[in-house]
C-alpha cells in the first residue's frame, strides 16, 4: 500500500556499513537488496541511502566524482536497478542524497573547469582572481580558509567544506540545468525521494561574511531553488524532496517550506542535534551537563505551531553526521534496553516523519577507536590537528574520549546481523571499527526475543501505521515537563487522546499522574502501570 509523505516511516542507511554482499569489507547496493525483506518486516516505507556515487570518500561520499555512477566498492547501476525494482514490489521507496552545494575536486566538471576558463564547466564554480578583505574572512567549516589557489587558471576557488569539495555556482543556469539532468537520470531508475543536501548554502554573498560565516540562506538561494524545483519536479507528481538545512528555525521552516513555492516538501528538524555537544567545540567535544529537558523545550516551537503540517518536517535521533543516540543520551549497559525503547517512544511521539538511523532498531552503540589513526572521517582528522596539535585546547587523551562520544565515525559502524564472524556484516574485516562486543546487540538474537529493542520498534511502527495512525500522524501535539521532571507528550485527534510519559534519566522520578489504563507500550518488559514513580528510563504510552 502506497503512503502519503506524512504517513511514511523512513529508515536511513549508511551504505558502506549496512551489509556486505560480496565480502570485501564494504557494505554495498546488493547488500541492501539482500536485506529488503528485513526492512519490509520492520515496517518502513522508504529507505534513504547516503551517497553511493563514484567518490574518493574524503567526506563519506559527499565528495562526488560522478553523479550518474555507483562507486565501484558499492556495485553497479544494474545492482541499483535491481534494488529499486524489488523495493517497489515491497512498497518501499528509495530516497537518495543529492549533494547540491559542492562536488569533488576530482569531478570531471572541475577538471574541465581548470583546463580553461572558456569551458562551460568553468561556470559551475565560484572563482576570484583577487580576494577582497571581506572575502578573505571566509573560513571553511572544516577549518582554515575557504579559498584555494588554482594555478592552472590563476584563480581562487571557493570551498565551504574541505578543499576537496568545491562549491558550485548556483547563480549560473548551466549549474541548475546539470542538476535537473541528474534528477531525471535517477528518477528514471526508480528513485522517488530526493534529499537535497546543504540547500541553505547554495547561494553565496560575501558582503558580510562575519555575520553569516556559513553562508546560510544568502540572497539568491530561494530564487535558485525555486527555479530548480520547477525544472526538475514539475512533471513528477510522485516524487518528493527532503531539504537538509542544519539548524533550521521555525520561521525559516515556514518561510521556505509552507509557502506557495516550497523549496522542499519536507525539512529535517535539528532540535536535538546539539544536545550533549560542547558549547565551545561542538561535536568535537562534550558537555557533561547537558539537560534531557532540552528534548522537550527545543521541540515545543515546532510541535505547537499550527502552520507546520505533519508532512513538513522530519525528526531523528541520530544520522550519519552524529554519534549514536544510545551512547549520547542512553545508559549502556545498565539500562540499555530501557533507554533505547524510551528514545524510540520519544521519536515516534512527535509530529513529523520519524527517521530511524540504521542499527537504532537494535540499540547499536558507538564504535570504539583506540587512537586517532583509527578514525576515517576528515572531520575527525582535522579536529585532532586543530584542537590537539595546533590550538592545544585538548590533550590527546581528552580528544579521544570526546571523539568516542560524539564523532561522526562512532555512529558509522557496521550493522550487527548475528553472532558469526564480524557480526555477520562480512566475512572480511570491515572498513571501519565496530562497537564493543555484546551478544544481545544483533538482529538475529533480537528477532527471537519478544522483549527485544527490535521487536519493540516493530510494535511501535505497526501502531504508528495502523491503530494509532490518525493520532500520531495528524494529532495535535502538546509537550510539557511535569513538576517532577517527566516528559509528557499528548497527542489528540477527533476526541481521542494519547499520552507519552517519558523518564529520560537513570534515576527514579516521582509520578503523580493517576492513570487507569494499562500501558499500550512500556520500555520495561513487565508493562506495569506506574503508581508512585517511574523507574530509570521507564517510559510508557497510554491511550485515554
CA distances 409 to 7, 164, 368, Å, are 31, 19, 9
Helix (H, G, I), strand (E, B) or coil at 55: strand
CB 498 within 8 A of CB 472: yes
Smallest CA-to-CA distance from 316 within 278, 360, 277, 276 is with 360
DSSP per-residue string spanning 480-506: EE-TTS-EEEEEEETTEEEEEEE--SS
Q: Give dist(CA 314, CA 372) in Å, integer.
A: 33
Q: Cis peptide before 34, with omega less than 30 degrees from 0?
A: no
**Active-site option among 244, 361, 377, 538:** 244
Q: Which residues pair with 267 in a beta bridge?
A: 243, 313
Distance from the first to the final alpha carbon of the chain: 29
Q: What is the dihedral of CA 14, 20, 24, 26, to 10 degrees?
A: 0
544 among known catalytic residues: no
CA gap 430, 428 in Å, rounded: 6
Q: Name the grid cell of 321.
A: 553526521
Beta bridge partners of 97: 195
Q: What is the rounded distance in angstroms from the CA atom of residue 167 to the CA atom of residue 100?
A: 9
CA atoms of 206 and 134, how far apart (whole Å): 7
Sheet holding 127-128, edge to edge: 127-128, 155-158, 147-150
E strand or H helix at 155: strand 155-158
The whole-angstrom separation of Cα 93 and Cα 47 is: 6
Task: Locate the DSSP E strands across 266-418.
Answer: 266-268, 313-316, 353-357
* Identified catalytic residue from 7, 45, 121, 197: 197
Cell numbers 566538471: residue = 109
79 is catalytic: no
Helices (H) and strands (E) in the chain, counts: 16, 22
Distance CA 470, CA 475 (A): 6
The pair phi, psi for residue 447, each rounded to 5°, is -60, -35
Q: For the chain, what's the residue count?
A: 544
Beta strand spans in 398-534 (E): 476-481, 487-493, 496-502, 509-510, 521-522, 533-534
- Residue 6: closest CA among 360, 319, 493, 469: 469
355: which 3 cell numbers?
527517521
Q: Name the residue among 124, 127, 93, 97 with its Cα closest to residue 108.
A: 124
Q: Compute CA 166 distance to the chain's CA centroid, rounded to the nearest angstrom.
A: 22
Q: Rounded to whole angstroms, what are the CA distances from 130 to 213, 215, 306, 507?
A: 19, 20, 48, 60
Residues designated catalytic: 197, 244
Amino acid at each position: 500500500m502506497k503512503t502519503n509523505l506524512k504517513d511514511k516511516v523512513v529508515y536511513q542507511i549508511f551504505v558502506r556499513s549496512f551489509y556486505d554482499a560480496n565480502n570485501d569489507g564494504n557494505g554495498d547496493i546488493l547488500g541492501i537488496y539482500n536485506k529488503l525483506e528485513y526492512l519490509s518486516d520492520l515496517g518502513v516505507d522508504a529507505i534513504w541511502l547516503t551517497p553511493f556515487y563514484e567518490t574518493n570518500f574524503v567526506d563519506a561520499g559527499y565528495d562526488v566524482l560522478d553523479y550518474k555512477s555507483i562507486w565501484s566498492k558499492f556495485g553497479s547501476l544494474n545492482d541499483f536497478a535491481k534494488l529499486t525494482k524489488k523495493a517497489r514490489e515491497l512498497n518501499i521507496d528509495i530516497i537518495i542524497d543529492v549533494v547540491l552545494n559542492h562536488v569533488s575536486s576530482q569531478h570531471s566538471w572541475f577538471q574541465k573547469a581548470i583546463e580553461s576558463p572558456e569551458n562551460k564547466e568553468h561556470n559551475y564554480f565560484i572563482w576570484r582572481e583577487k580576494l577582497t578583505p571581506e572575502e578573505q574572512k571566509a573560513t571553511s567549516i572544516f577549518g582554515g580558509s575557504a579559498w584555494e589557489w588554482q594555478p592552472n587558471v590563476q584563480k581562487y576557488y571557493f570551498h565551504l567544506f574541505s578543499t576537496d569539495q568545491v562549491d558550485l555556482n548556483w547563480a549560473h543556469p548551466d549549474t541548475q540545468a546539470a542538476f535537473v539532468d541528474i534528477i531525471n537520470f535517477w528518477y528514471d531508475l526508480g528513485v522517488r525521494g530526493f534529499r537535497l543536501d546543504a540547500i541553505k548554502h547554495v547561494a553565496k554573498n560575501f558582503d558580510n561574511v562575519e555575520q553569516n560565516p556559513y553562508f546560510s540562506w544568502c540572497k539568491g538561494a530561494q530564487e535558485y531553488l525555486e527555479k530548480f524545483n520547477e525544472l526538475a519536479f514539475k512533471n513528477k507528481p510522485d516524487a518528493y524532496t527532503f531539504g537538509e538545512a542544519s539548524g533550521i528555525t521555525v520561521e525559516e521552516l515556514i518561510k521556505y517550506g509552507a509557502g506557495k513555492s516550497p523549496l522542499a516538501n519536507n525539512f529535517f528538524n535539528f532540535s536535538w542535534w546539539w544536545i550533549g555537544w560542547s558549547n565551545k567545540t561542538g561535536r568535537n567535544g562534550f558537555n557533561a551537563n547537558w539537560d534531557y529537558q532540552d528534548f522537550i523545550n527545543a521541540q515545543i516551537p515546532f510541535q505547537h505551531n499550527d502552520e507546520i503540517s505533519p508532512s513538513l518536517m522530519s525528526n531523528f535521533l541520530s544520522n550519519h553526521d552524529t554519534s549514536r543516540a544510545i551512547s549520547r543520551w542512553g545508559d549502556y549497559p545498565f539500562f540499555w534496553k530501557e533507554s533505547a525503547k524510551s528514545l524510540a517512544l520519544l521519536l515516534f511521539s512527535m509530529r513529523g516523519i520519524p527517521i530511524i538511523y540504521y542499527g537504532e532498531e537494535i540499540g547499536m552503540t558507538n564504535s570504539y577507536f583506540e587512537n586517532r589513526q583509527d578514525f576515517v572521517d576528515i572531520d575527525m582528522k582535522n579536529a585532532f590537528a586543530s584542537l590537539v596539535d595546533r590550538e592545544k585546547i585538548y590533550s590527546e587523551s581528552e580528544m579521544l574520549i570526546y571523539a568516542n562520544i560524539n564523532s561522526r565515525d562512532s555512529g558509522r559502524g557496521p550493522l550487527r546481523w548475528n553472532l558469526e564472524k564480524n557480526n555477520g556484516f562480512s566475512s572480511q574485516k570491515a572498513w571501519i571499527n565496530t562497537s564493543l562486543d555484546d551478544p544481545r546487540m544483533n538482529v538475529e538474537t533480537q528477532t527471537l526475543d519478544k522483549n527485544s529493542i527490535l521487536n519493540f520498534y516493530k510494535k511501535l511502527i505497526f501502531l504508528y501505521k495502523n491503530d494509532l495512525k490518525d493520532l500520531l500522524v495528524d494529532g495535535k501535539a502538546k509537550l510539557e515537563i511535569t513538576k517532577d521532571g517527566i516528559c509528557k507528550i499528548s497527542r489528540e485527534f477527533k476526541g481521542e487522546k494519547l499520552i507519552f510519559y517519558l523518564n529520560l534519566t537513570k534515576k527514579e522520578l516521582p509520578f503523580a499522574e493517576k492513570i487507569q489504563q494499562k500501558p499500550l507500550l512500556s520500555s520495561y518488559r513487565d508493562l506495569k502501570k506506574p503508581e508512585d514513580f517511574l523507574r530509570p528510563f521507564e517510559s510508557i504510552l497510554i491511550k485515554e
